[in-house]
Amino acid sequence: MTAAASPIEPREPKYYLVKRHLLEIIETLEPGAPVPTERELTVELATSRTTVRQALSELVGEGRLIRRQGSGTFVAEPKIVWPFQMTSFTEQAAANGFVASAKLLAAERIRASGEIATRLNLRSSAFAYRIERLRLADDIPMAVETSHLSVAAFPGLIKHLRQTSSLYRVLADVYDVVPVSAEESIETAAASPREAALLGTDTGAPMLILSRHSFEIDGTPVEWVRSWYRGDRYRFVAHLSTA
Ligand code: 16G
């Protein structure tokens, strides 16, 4: 006979009580409304400033609150819902009512090795492009995107990307290549100082990294891309069906 598992009663850390209290307050407020200050919460809940700060920081990281230097902490706007689709950033933005753009941060030819060579099906030390772009929607920085593509497959790509902000547009118009399928994965990371500065958040803030490995209809790999999004601003949605 097996013993019945005993119910686990997790011990709630003190800051979590403060967090729950704040979540209740947030539910009653509109986006943009101020929440009580650190000092007010410390007095009201008879707890330490450190405890209050931890609760506030977690809610900022989760995108429920937003901190404005010098003016306080406010209820955040709802997250932007971004669909998982086999389309380009430009098309996804348009479908959601935004105008997409890109700022080219880096564009270079590197010798492919390791994962990049494998993903792009290149001989080790063949040339690959490393293209880093800041992606913006309505001029608001949304993601830092690093793309790798084969130089042999797309000669002159960097020149074209200096003129148009859509990689997929260039691939279709100039090279007659359309990525039709992809494997996409999502994982979390903490923002580095550089990503934080580019995306207007704090170093260490939670980020979502989307990786896309895309292919042409015949299975030829097209690109290997990693996109860093602010975890507090975006919610990714996939539509699943059995059909
Ligand atoms: C998306 C894709 C990226 C692709 C880009 C093309 C993800 C994670 N990334 O951002 O792989 O290169 O769209 O967009 O979905 P563009 O044509 O606007 O440059």
The pair of structure tokens assigned to 32 is 């943009």
Whole-number Å distance, alpha carbon 93 to ligand 1 midpoint, is 10
pLDDT tens track for 162-219: 999 999 999 999 999 999 999 999 999 999 999 999 999 889 999 999 999 999 999 9
The pair of structure tokens assigned to 47 is 């707890």
Say how far apart CA 50 and CA 47 lie, in whole Å.
Answer: 8
User: What atom of ligand 1 comes closest to residue 225's alpha carbon?
Assistant: 11
Residue to mutate (ligand 1; options 104, 132, 142, 145; most atoms within 8 A of CB): 145
pLDDT tens track for 23-72: 999 999 999 999 999 999 999 989 999 999 999 999 999 999 999 888 88
**pTM attached to this predicted model:** 0.86
**Distance (Å) of CA 230 to CA 87, 94, 114:** 20, 20, 28
Average per-residue pLDDT for the chain: 92
Q: Which three-class secondary structure string do you get for 107-144?
A: EEEEECCHHHHHHHCCCCCCEEEEEEEEEEECCEEEEE
Say how far apart CA 72 and CA 27 lie, in whole Å.
Answer: 18
Q: Could you tell me how many residues make up the chain? A: 243
Asked if 109 and 151 touch (Cβ cutoff 8 Å), the reply is: yes
CA atoms within 13 A on the CB side of 170: 17
- Nearest CA residue ID for atom 6, ligand 1: 88
Say how far apart CA 22 and CA 24 lie, in whole Å.
Answer: 5
What does the pLDDT read at residue 9?
A: 73
Residue tagged 């490393």 (tokens): 130
Say how far apart CA 190 and CA 204 lie, in whole Å.
Answer: 5
Whole-number Å distance, alpha carbon 232 to ligand 1 midpoint, is 20
C-beta atoms surrounding 202 within 10 Å: 15
Asked if 115 and 127 touch (Cβ cutoff 8 Å), the reply is: no
Whole-number Å distance, alpha carbon 169 to ligand 1 midpoint, is 11
